[in-house]
Chain A
Amino acid sequence: MPTDLDSTEIASASGAEIQAPAAGGRVNRYALFVLPALTLMAGIYVYPLWIVVEQSVHDDKGVLTIEGYRELLTGPLFFRVLWTSLEIDVMATAIALVAAYPIAYHLSRQTSRRRMVLSGLVLLPLWTSVLVKSLAFIVVFGDSGIVAAGLRWLGLEPPQMMFNRTGVLIGLVHYFIPFMAFPILSSLLQRDPSLEKAARIMGAGRLRIFWRIIVPLSMPGVLAGCLLSFILCLGFFVTPALLGSRKDVMLANLIDFYLRQTFDWTIAAAASVLLLMLSAVFIVLLARVPGGRKLVVEGV
């Protein structure tokens, strides 16, 4: 069973393939069109990132130092926050996967017209401000919110659901479901429907077809979706700050803490470099898996 589809196959299945014209030389003049954006990126993206790296090895008098890294890597705070971040990240990604799969599966079985309409139900939350969503969660899952009231009505003592780990997870899972659902949907849509038909003719049950054919064929999407949500979660700032407690401080909040509370630029920069390196590992990984390559390298 072809569980690992060739990446080029996936890429070329994505629709009209148009070869670049004038493919004679290695460089053609169309390349010049990229220059303005590249210049802009160099000036207000690459250079600022470089400043972070530079700042991380200089103290506020401009003297070369590795004090920032030493303090982070020898003290307990950084590793505690790193561990919290990874814990929250893995849990949010896993729950988002479980929640997103039925959606992707459901969408993949609709006619394209119905799918367009239903995917609006996933698209709209994706494009709703994270602040708006946080506010709604605070109200709905808060101590006097509708969920707690419902639980009380059922005679249950409602647990605290906001300003703790549960709150952060609710917010993050909600945020990541769309990022998970769309890559899975696109790999579900690329599968060959005749495989299922063949399996059915051979007498395979629906459950067996689901686990042995549909799930394995959707693995590229699952992998891309998981990596995408894992990467986005690593540097997440707003949700832990608004829906979590002090115990749910993640890496991005730690950086903000060093910048704003202790005014220590060196250590804030050092923490950023470590976060950047961690993200880079997973971004490179994402760029190598079939579904992710389409997103970040081919831009489709």
Chain B
Amino acid sequence: MNDDRSETTNGEGAPTLGATTTLAAWLVYAFLMAPIFVVIGMSFGSQYEYQFPPRSISLFLYWKFFSDPQWIAALWLSVRVALMSTVLALAFGLSAAYGLVRGEFPGKRLVTLLLMSPILVPVVVIALGLYFYYARLHLIGSYSGLVAAHTIYTMPFVLVTAMAGLRHVDLNLEAAGEVMGAGRLTIFWRITLPLLRPAIVVGALFAFLMSFDEVVIAFFILEATSFTLPVKMYGSIQFDNSPVLAAVSSLLTLFSVCICGIGVWLQRNR
């Protein structure tokens, strides 16, 4: 499995290179994973301050979180925004992916670049643009405004997974449908879409997570009275440093773990 050991003496530094890179790799894995273990550990503390490792184990911080109406309101808003924008991103993104993979039209590369660009263009510029725009439309602080913003923000991810999925769909199946006299829409609904199910699930899960964790756009276009969970966390880290943050972070992390787990598992089964 790991062919580092099979290399013995093959000139200068032969046996050490593999070992060195393996050691370096594990150190970096540890650095990458550290925050995850830290917040989970911290969340079981009972102190009114952060402590890692925690001195005692309790669910006090979780209880604090779930009994605070402000945190719950933030959580609820985040869930609603993420659900709605995921549905929209899926609808628009899947259709666009289908058009981009199967379609033939001038400027296709440019269109792809445009549709992918929200992940590369500085979020703060998008956020500022939406702020100006929504100020004109009186949509600052509105649910629909945030959903629309998160839809374009998460769509690139749906697009990537759906396009990758579509490239693996056997075209003969679609051709068979066409021979049988099915229209393009029927083929899309009855043949292509079911074959794409794993890609769609992965795209949806990660789109949800992206919206659920998004802070900059929400920070710009929400009013000071309504918060999504990340915006409330951002404020809390900056100003009051409430230990409840540890419980929120831990819950968010567990959520990420679940989604990544499902994602990896679905890819393995492909």
Contact = CB atoms under 8 A, between A and B. Distances in A.
A80 interface: no
Interface in B113-159: 113-118, 120-126, 128-133, 136, 148-149, 151-152, 155, 159
18 contacts: A16-B167, A28-B102, A37-B92, A37-B95, A41-B155, A51-B133, A120-B261, A123-B264, A124-B36, A128-B35, A234-B122, A235-B121, A241-B238, A252-B122, A252-B124, A275-B125, A296-B113, A299-B160
A70 interface: no
Contact of B35 (A32, A102, A132, A255): A132
Interface string B220-239: 10000000001001100110
B40 to A, nearest CB: 10
B237 A48 contact: no
Contacts of A151: none
B175 A21 contact: yes
Interface in A49-64: 49-52, 55
B96 interface: yes
A132 B249 contact: yes
Most A CB within 10 A of own CB, among B10, B118, B164: B10
Contacts of B195: none
B34 to A, nearest CB: 7
A116 B132 contact: no
Nearest to A32: B99
B75 interface: no
Q: Chain B's interface: helix, strand, loop or mixed, by majority?
A: helix
B245 A299 contact: no
Contacts of B149: 44
A86 interface: no
B13 A206 contact: yes
Nearest to B265: A116
A263 interface: no
A105 B25 contact: yes
Contacts of A256: 124
A120 B264 contact: yes
Given A252-B123, A272-B122, 9 more contacts: A30-B102, A44-B130, A45-B118, A124-B32, A132-B35, A205-B12, A206-B10, A208-B12, A300-B167
A20 B103 contact: yes
Nearest to B171: A18
Contact of B168 (A16, A30, A206, A210): A16
B48 interface: no
Contacts of A156: none
Given A206-B13, A255-B124, A124 B129 contact: no
B33 A121 contact: yes
Most B CB within 10 A of own CB, among A40, A121, A136, A177: A136
B1 interface: yes
B18 A206 contact: yes
B17 A106 contact: no
B133 A47 contact: yes
Interface string B12-37: 11100110011011101101111110
Nearest to B114: A41
Interface stretch (A1-9, A71-79, A137-145, A217-225): A137-145
B152 A40 contact: yes
Contacts of A118: 29
B246 interface: yes
B193 interface: no
Most B CB within 10 A of own CB, among A128, A145, A200, A275: A128
B14 A205 contact: yes
B100 interface: yes
B121 A242 contact: no
Contact of A279 (B2, B91, B121, B230): B121
Most A CB within 10 A of own CB, among B2, B103, B122, B174: B122
Nearest to A48: B129
